[in-house]
C-alpha cells in the first residue's frame, strides 16, 4: 500500500511516502516514517492522529493511498480566543459610543 505520513510544523511540513503491507496500522506507518526520531516532540500518547483530517486511533488499519496526519497541540483554545475577541468588540463599541456622545 502507498501511504503518506505528514507532520506540519510552523515553518514547514514533513511528508514521508511509504510502501507498507496490507493491514498496516496508523502507528506502524508513523514508526516506519522515521518522524518519531526526526521530530522528538512527537508523543503518540498525547499527539492526536488522523487520516485525511478525521481522527483515528493508532491501531486503525490503513487503506491504500491514505495520508496519516500527526497533529500538534493547539497553542490557544479557539473558544477562549472567540470570547476574548467578543469582549474586545463590546469594549470598543462601548468606548466609541461614549466618545461620540461627548462630541455632541
Grid cell, residue 17, equals 511516502
Same domain flag for 57 and 92: no
| Total Cβ atoms within 10 A of residue 61 | 13
pTM above 0.75, yes or no: no
Q: What total number of domains does the chain contain?
A: 2
Quickly count: other Cβ atoms within 10 Å of residue 13's Cβ: 10
Strand order in the sheet with 54-56: 13-19, 2-8, 67-70, 49-51, 54-56
6: left (phi over 0), alpha (psi -120 to 50) or beta: beta
Q: What pLDDT digit, counting tens, does each position of 66-92 carry?
A: 999 999 877 767 787 788 888 887 766
Share of the chain above pLDDT 90, in %: 62
Q: What is the domain extent for residue 45?
A: 2-70
The pLDDT of residue 42 is: 93
Do 6 and 31 lie in a common domain? yes
Amino acid at each position: 500500500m502507498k501511504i503518506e505520513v505528514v507532520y506540519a510544523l510552523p515553518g514547514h511540513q514533513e511528508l514521508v511516502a511509504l510502501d507498507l503491507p496490507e493491514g498496516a496500522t496508523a502507528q506502524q506507518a508513523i514508526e516506519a516514517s522515521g518522524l518519531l526520531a526526526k521530530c522528538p516532540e512527537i508523543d503518540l500518547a498525547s499527539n492526536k492522529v488522523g487520516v485525511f483530517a478525521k481522527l483515528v486511533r493508532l491501531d486503525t488499519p490503513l487503506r491504500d493511498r491514505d495520508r496519516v496526519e500527526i497533529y500538534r497541540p493547539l497553542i490557544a483554545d479557539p473558544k477562549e480566543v472567540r470570547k476574548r475577541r467578543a469582549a474586545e468588540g463590546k469594549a470598543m463599541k462601548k468606548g466609541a459610543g461614549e466618545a461620540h456622545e461627548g462630541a455632541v
